[in-house]
Amino acid sequence: MTSLMPLTTVFPGLVWLMAALALVQGLRRAALWRVGAAAPVAWLDGLAKLPKRYLVDVHHVVARDAYASRMHAVVAGGLLAASILTALAILPPIAGFRPYWFVVALAFGVTAVGSLLVGARRYPSKQKRLSAGRFQILPFLLVAYAVGGTATALLLAFGIGGVFAPLALALAAAGGLGLAFEVRHGPMRHAAAGALHLVAHPRPGRFEGRPDTALQPLDLDAPRLGSEMPADFTWNRLLSYDACVSCGRCEIACPAFAAGQPLNPKRLIQDLVAGLSPAEPAYAGNPYPGGRQAQGERGALAGLIGPDARIHPDTLWSCTTCRACVEECPMMIEHVDAVVSLRRHQTLERGALPDKAVGPVTELRQSGDPGGRPLSARTDFAAGVDLPVMAERGGAEILLWLGEGAYDLRYGRSLRALIRLLREAGVDFAVLGAEERDTGDLARRLGDEATFQALARENIATLAKYRFERIVTADPHALHALRNEYPAMGGRYTLAHHTAFLLELIRAGKLNPARLPDLSVTYHDPCYLARYNGETEAPRAVLDAIGVSRSEMARSGKRAMCCGGGGGAPVSDIPGERRIPDIRMAQAAETGAGIVAVACPSCTAMLEGVTGRHAEIRDIAELLLQAVEAGR
């Protein structure tokens, strides 16, 4: 060895060779992203914020699994430190300084410990949510590189040569070059693509501490609407799917997966990854429930959706758009955007909505209500209640947006409670009455962007006629559409969910509820309030104000499980082995609470529809009204 070239040059040279190999492998993969559509990316801003995004936002998610967090700190930190330190030793003054090699050996030693932590997750038996395949080789590559590196660095530190040096170096080379090779198809891709994804993220707003959850409006004049094939996604979305590390946190969180409907978010993202490249190794994680294994065509121009394609249409329509997968994804992948983009193509270009959803979407387009009911009947629930209408008043401090739930007899009870509370507090409010159309939420989640935009334009025109300060609504889906999605259509309003508004009234002393300590309540967070709008505290504060004994479900707040009522899933009605609301009510039953408090018409309908439940379903407004009446 020394006869050809000194070890102090060969060892750093190995790291440089690894870097070069990783770069080549990375560029080979990156060439595929170029088929994607253009996307605006703030490169400098993203690069500057990369450390913060990684150390704060990504860490926040990864740390929910403390083991994974520590494992990454040790193995990734060690790997980076050891490799960089070794690479620097290409400079002769450093290479000749023996104590330096002790530091390098220490870094490699830390990496070796981390490698064992990586291995412990997979051997002797793999954690269920993790994927096998190439990921099973990863611990061996890491151990080889780390142990080989430690040994080489120690030999250099002590100045020992001989037969051990080539052996140690060979071990390090096998592991290190193997890791670099894996940047294209294997586990190490998540490190390279993940870092780039954090820089070029399609939703940079989510790193700024605000929920960036509004679907991006679709240009209805575009030559092709929605995504049919990988090339229809923007390049940074393709990049984001490559960041997927197959950790399976999304499939644990997914309500459709839990219900045995044919959706597994991890498999979906991996299908988007594999659809892009025929060379991608086979998927080695849990399949879509139902055991479908169709492979379909691959390539940038291959159709992704179809009965014989990679992704079955039922997979798309199973999604409740609850964003639980997005919330859990440590790689910050936007699964719901992918689902909606694929749905848009199905609906707008192919008219391939699921059979049961055709009726509601058609009625929404033709009559402004998914049930085809007269708009004037929306206020029928309030028969006998004095309900001021905007058209007669011209304006009011608060515009009460009723939403689709108003047609439902059960939910009418919640709205009547809310109206009585508003009256009690002396709030100046009015409703749109027959002028209120559906916000178009259902159409938009089902991919019918044209109907959503038409309804949004009509609603914005109606709202422009009246004076009001704020819109209050009891429907988180309407809240999300009006607050987050109408601005892109030209309508900007100040929104408050009824739970937040009622809390304001209590704090301002306008409502004086008595305490109801005999009630045991657990609160079910609506996805569109908690995850889409980040509001988890106000409903709990209202419950605390009325002094109920409150317990939390295992999954609550931003990590709560969906009731199954979002994203058009109830109208698509894709069969599964279980029902999502049944699962959720079983979780609620674990708390032993007698009342499940809700704050959304969809949740009310879904959870109250569960058979054999023992808990009562009560809206926050109903509970507050009970407390206010008890306080009189």
- Beta bridge mates, 615: none
Chain residues 315-344 in contact with another protein, contact rule CB under 8 A: none
Matching residue, tokens 């494992």: 71
Among 374, 394, 395, 517, binds another protein (CB under 8 A): 374
Candidates 93, 99, 159, 351; binder of another protein (CB under 8 A) is 351
Amino acid at 117: L
Q: Is 570 in the site for another protein (CB under 8 A)?
A: no
Smaller CB separation from another protein, 337 or 449: 449
Q: Tokens 């997927």 — which residue?
A: 244
Taking the C-alpha atoms of residue 420 and residue 510, their distance in angstroms, rounded to an integer, is 13
* Binding region for another protein (CB under 8 A) out of 53-61, 130-138, 290-298, 368-376: 368-376
The smaller minimum CB distance to another protein, of residues 356 and 510, is found at 356
Residue 229 contacts another protein per CB under 8 A? no
347 sits near another protein (criterion: CB under 8 A): yes
Containing 365, the helix (H) or strand (E) segment is helix 355-367
User: Minimal distance in Å, beta carbon 366 to another protein?
Assistant: 5
Q: How far is the CB of 234 from another protein (least distance, A)?
A: 19
470 binds another protein (CB under 8 A): no
Q: How far apart are CA 254 and CA 608, in angstroms?
A: 21
CB 567 within 8 A of CB 354: no
Task: Determine, following the binding rule CB under 8 A, whether residue 352 of this chain makes contact with another protein.
Answer: yes
89 binds another protein, rule: CB under 8 A: no
Which CA distances in Å does 606 have to 97, 520, 599?
Answer: 69, 21, 12
Q: Rounded to 10 degrees, what is the CA torsion of 469, 473, 556, 333? A: -80
Q: Contact at 8 Å (CB) between 212 and 67?
A: no
Question: What's the min distance (Å) between Cβ of 347 and another protein?
Answer: 7
Between 57 and 449, CB nearer to another protein: 449
Tell me the closest approach of the beta carbon of residue 448 to another protein, in angstroms: 7
User: Nearest to residue 443, comparing CAs of 435, 434, 452?
Assistant: 452
Q: How many CB atoms lie within 10 A of CB 596?
A: 27
- Binding string, 196-225, against another protein, x = CB under 8 A? ------------------------x---xx
Residue of the chain from 73, 90, 358, 589 that contacts another protein (CB under 8 A) = 358
Nearer to another protein, 457 or 515 (CB): 457
Interface mask toward another protein for 449-468; x: CB under 8 A: xxx-----------------
Distance CA 471, CA 477 (A): 13
For residue 217, the cross-strand partners are: none
Name which of 77 and 371 has its Cβ closer to another protein. Answer: 371
Comparison of 335 and 345: residue with beta carbon closer to another protein:
345
Interface with another protein, residue 350, by CB under 8 A? yes
Instruction: State in angstroms the smallest separation of the CB of 567 from another protein.
Output: 17
Q: Which of 7, 15, 361, 538 binds another protein (CB under 8 A)?
A: 361
Binding pattern for the stretch 257-296 against another protein, x by CB under 8 A and - elsewhere: ----------------------------------------
- CA pair distance 150, 168, nearest whole angstrom: 8
One residue of 232, 337, 435, 448 binding another protein per CB under 8 A: 448
**Nearer to another protein (CB atom), residue 79 or residue 450:** 450
Total chain residues near another protein (CB under 8 A)? 28
List C-alpha distances in Å: 154 to 1, 47, 88, 145, 149.
17, 36, 17, 14, 8
CA-to-CA distance for 380 and 318, rounded, in angstroms? 33
**Sheet order of strands, 495-497 included:** 429-431, 398-401, 470-473, 495-497
Burial (Cβ within 10 Å: 0-12, 13-18, ≥19) of residue 262: buried
Stretch that binds another protein, among 364-372, 461-469, 474-482, 571-579 (CB under 8 A): 364-372
Residue 368 binding another protein, by CB under 8 A? yes
Q: Are 260 and 578 in contact (CB under 8 A)?
A: yes
State the residue for tokens 């509820």: 513
Instruction: Give min distance, CB of 363 to another protein, in A.
Output: 8
Stretch near another protein under the rule CB under 8 A, chosen from 142-150, 185-193, 445-453, 536-544: 445-453
Among 127, 216, 295, 366, binds another protein (CB under 8 A): 366
- Give the nearest distance from C-beta 455 to another protein in angstroms: 12
Judged by beta carbon, residue 208 or residue 221, the one nearer another protein is 221
CB of 216 or CB of 376, closer to another protein: 376
- Among positions 198, 229, 250, 353, the unique one binding another protein when judged by CB under 8 A: 353
Contacts of residue 124, defined as CB under 8 A and 6 or more positions apart, other chains included, come to: none
Q: Which two tokens stand for residue 377?
A: 């009947």
Which is nearest to 245 in space by CA: 129, 139, 352? 129
SS3 393: helix
The CA distance from 74 to 311, in Å, is: 37
Q: Would you say 173 or 454 has its CB closer to another protein?
A: 454
- Fill in the amino acid letter for 89: A
Tell me the C-alpha distance between 445 and 56, whole Å: 31
The reply on whether position 359 binds another protein by CB under 8 A is: yes
Instruction: Give the whole-angstrom CA distance, residue 179 versus residue 191.
Output: 11
Contact characters 402-441, another protein, x per CB under 8 A: ----------------------------------------
Kindly tell me the sign of the dihedral angle through the C-alpha atoms of 345, 351, 352, 355.
Answer: positive
Residue that is written with structure tokens 């004994």 in the block: 549
Distance (Å, whole) CA 280 – CA 300: 13
Work out which of 367, 462, 512, 520 binds another protein, going by CB under 8 A. 367
Positions in the binding site for another protein (CB under 8 A): 220, 224-225, 347-353, 355, 357-359, 361-362, 365-368, 372-375, 448-451
